[in-house]
Amino acid sequence: MTSPVASIDELLAQARRLGVERQDALAWLAHACGRDRAWLFAHGDEPAPPHAHAGLERLAAGEPLAHLTGWQPFHGLVLAVTPDVLIPRPDTEALVDWALELAPAGGRVADLGTGSGAIALALKAARPDLAVTATDLSPAALAVARANGVRLGLTVDWRLGSWLAPLGGERFDLIVSNPPYIAGHDPHLAALTHEPLGALTPGGDGLADLAHLAATSPMHLRPGGWLLLEHGWDQAQAVQHLLTQAGFADVSSQPDRAGRPRCTGGRWQG
Ligand code: GLN
């Protein structure tokens, strides 16, 4: 039994016994105490707040830290997240950086399947000159994204609907997306039960939405515009093939933090 007056040091020891990652335990306890990590180390004898232990048990049961705190850092922003959206991953920051390199000054950019709004908001924060539009099929996700935009003071044109459907006849200088791409049989899905399944996998070999975006984006790109897609570590060749087949030029891939090719893009010649 845990005494309600367990100290911070005692809870850190319990976290270790429960198998909770130390970084997650520290981040959760700092959040629960309303302090930073440096404070935790200097105040290990202080009583932890009563709800801190329950949070460690949720982490031990596999719940993501972001669902306990309600926040996830992404590309220098802090985004609110709920179980209605994919939790933004650090790997996706590489997609944002690539998009920032390619987006022309004052250009129009679309983020498809925006979820928490992570990509759209990171682009707008880094480049206020861009006009950013973002779509999502899920009204609940779009509400999270919109609220993030309001709180951060970033203007994005949010549109409800599937992929490019809400964009009418509009054309963009750059289209970017982190669609669901995990294969339906991938064992990693078993560990991702706390996020919307539809944001993680289209089923099958994981390529269906990537193929749809490669085939339909040209109708929404200006001549010379770019399509950039995040995908799984073993899908770069398949996505390069999809883009080449769809008529894209200058098709290439960019590595994630671990050096694996995780985004592929191409230029629409018009
Ligand atoms: N990168 C995520 C993961 O591996 C998946 C995101 C996605 O399917 N778009 O957990």
Name beta bridge partners: 230: 263
pLDDT attached to residue 213: 98
pTM: 0.95
Q: Is 1 a residue whose pLDDT tops 70?
A: no
Q: How far apart are CA 142 and CA 39, in angstroms?
A: 36
257 confidence band (pLDDT: 50, 70, 90): confident
Q: What is the mean pLDDT of residues 2-13?
A: 83
Mention the CATH class of domain 71-268. alpha beta
Residue boundaries of the structural domains of the chain: 8-65, 71-268
pLDDT attached to residue 107: 98
Choice from 114, 163, 182 to test ligand 1 binding pocket (greatest atom count within 8 A of CB): 182
Q: What is the mean pLDDT of residues 243-259?
A: 96
Q: Is 149 a residue whose pLDDT tops 90?
A: yes
CA of 106 to the centre of ligand 1 (A): 30
Q: Is 148 known to sit in a ligand binding site?
A: no
- The predicted-structure confidence for 14-38, as pLDDT tens digits, reads as follows 999 999 999 999 999 999 999 999 9
Q: Is 270 a residue whose pLDDT tops 90?
A: no
User: Looking at ligand 1, which residue's alpha carbon is closest to its atom 9?
Assistant: 180
Q: How far apart are CA 14 and CA 7, in angstroms?
A: 11
- The predicted-structure confidence for 191-223, as pLDDT tens digits, reads as follows 999 999 999 999 999 999 999 999 999 999 999
Q: Say if ligand 1 is within 6 A of residue 200 CB.
A: yes
Residue with tokens 């398949």: 238
Name beta bridge partners: 134: 111, 158
- The predicted-structure confidence for 223-246, as pLDDT tens digits, reads as follows 999 999 999 999 999 999 999 999
- The predicted-structure confidence for 67-117, as pLDDT tens digits, reads as follows 999 999 999 999 999 999 999 999 999 999 999 999 999 999 999 999 999
Q: Is 4 a residue whose pLDDT tops 60?
A: no
Q: What is the mean pLDDT of residues 34-47?
A: 95
Q: How far apart are CA 230 and CA 239, in angstroms?
A: 9
pLDDT attached to residue 106: 98
Q: What is the mean pLDDT of residues 45-56?
A: 95
Q: Which residues of 251-260 are buried (b: 16+ CB within 10 A; e: fewer)?
A: bebbebeeee
CA of 223 to the centre of ligand 1 (A): 30
Encoding tokens for residue 247? Answer: 């008529």
Phi/psi for 98 (5° steps) reads -65, -45
pLDDT attached to residue 5: 80
Angle among Cα 163, 247, 156 to the nearest 5 degrees reads: 30
Question: Distance of alpha carbon 192 from its chain centroid, rounded?
Answer: 14
Residue with tokens 């894209």: 248
CA of 35 to the centre of ligand 1 (A): 31
